Amino acid sequence: MPLSVKSAIASAVLLLAASAAHAELTTYTSQAAYLAAVGTTGVDDYDDLIVDSFETPIVRSAGAISYTASAGPESTLAYGASDDEVDFWFTTNNRRDTITFDQFSRNIAGAGGFFFGSDLFGFSTPADSITITATDSTGASLTYTISNPGLSSFVGFVSSANLTSLSFNVGDQPGVWPTVNDLHLSVAAVPEPETYGMMLGGLGILGFLARRRQRKG
């Protein structure tokens, strides 16, 4: 293959890599807006839990997407919590700990849920804030802090790359434990038609250049 064609291909590869490196992370504070922005979404409602402790990391699933949930660094124990013992949530054993979701079984473009505080007995309780951070496959991260979160406080993140982790905590707020309900995990969206068009167009140009060089050779 002529050197010029090799250079063109290398340039195309670098361009695609540069596009991936500039992936965008977007925050949604409306469940409806988040669902409108993502593809197929699985939800882990945590209703199989009880008000009791369990060891993490633990493998769970949101629809067809499995993931690992862990608590730490002070304690690796987590708890089921609830106001009515019907709708259960996921919370920590140590109120200063962080809950992390990662090791997703599929490439996911979106992750989110309802984030709020619970008390020592597992009941929902007022909190000053809760901080959620998403990280994607390019190493980019985005943090969002909810002020005065409640049971209906939804936060979701969508990345044009693949999300690799979602974590949250309440810092050091006396009497408040970080809690999540209805974790949403959404598969990576199919590339837009114009993206395919640009890729195919670029490959077509490279093929034309290669054939032209061969005829001249």
**pLDDT of residue 216 exceeding 90:** no
pLDDT of residue 211: 53
**pLDDT of residue 2 exceeding 90:** no
Mean pLDDT, range 186-205, rounded to an integer: 54
**pLDDT of residue 210 exceeding 70:** no
pLDDT of residue 43: 98
Q: What is the spatial distance between Cα 6 and Cα 27, in angstroms, rounded to a whole number?
A: 40
Cβ atoms of 108 and 65 closer than 8 Å: yes
**Sole residue written with tokens 């044009």:** 160
Mean pLDDT, range 163-173, rounded to an integer: 98
If you compute the radius of gyration of the chain from its CA atoms, what whole number of angstroms results?
Answer: 22
Cβ atoms of 160 and 39 closer than 8 Å: no
Q: What is the spatial distance between Cα 80 and Cα 217, in angstroms, rounded to a whole number?
A: 72
pLDDT of residue 1: 54
Residue-wise pLDDT tens digits, 20-38: 456 799 999 999 999 999 9
pLDDT of residue 28: 98
- Whole-angstrom CA distances from 41 to 33, 34, 45, 117 are 13, 10, 13, 25
Q: Is 52 helix (H, G, I), strand (E, B) or coil?
A: coil
pLDDT bucket at 207, cuts 50 / 70 / 90:
low
Q: How many other C-beta atoms are found inside a 10 Å radius of the C-beta of residue 216?
A: 7
**pLDDT of residue 14 exceeding 50:** no
Residue-wise pLDDT tens digits, 65-100: 999 999 999 999 999 999 999 999 999 999 999 999
pLDDT of residue 188: 77
Q: What is the phi/psi pair of residue 41, to 5°?
A: -120, 130
Q: What is the spatial distance between Cα 16 and Cα 75, in angstroms, rounded to a whole number?
A: 42
pLDDT of residue 23: 72
